[in-house]
């Protein structure tokens, strides 16, 4: 499992999201990333940097 660091800025942002469905989708996406499932993503030049995409 990969380590996902959540900054205080991220925690404040996710807590203050108005739409609970959006918050839930983001949290599920982050959980899947931590489990190694990057889903819809592309490499940004090396194997460590990826760009993820979510459709809302």
Distance of CA 52 to the CA centre of its chain: 8
Mapping DSSP onto H, E and C, the string for the chain reads CCCCCCCHHHHHHHHCCCCHHHHHHHHHHHHHHHCCCCCCEEECCCCCCEEECCCC
- Give the separation between CA 25 and CA 10, rounded to whole angstroms: 15
pLDDT of the residue at 33: 82
**What does the domain layout of the chain look like in residue ranges?**
7-37
CA dihedral sign of residues 42, 25, 3, 13: positive
pLDDT in tens, the chain (56 residues): 677 888 999 999 999 999 999 999 989 988 888 887 776 665 567 666 555 555 55
pLDDT of the residue at 49: 58
pLDDT of the residue at 29: 86
pLDDT of the residue at 23: 95
């Amino acid at each position: 499992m990969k380590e996902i660091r959540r900054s205080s800025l991220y925690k404040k942002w996710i807590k203050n999201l108005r739409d609970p469905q959006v918050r839930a989708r983001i949290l599920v996406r982050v959980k899947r990333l931590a489990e190694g499932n990057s889903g819809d993503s592309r490499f940004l030049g090396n194997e460590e940097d990826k760009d993820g995409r979510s459709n809302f």
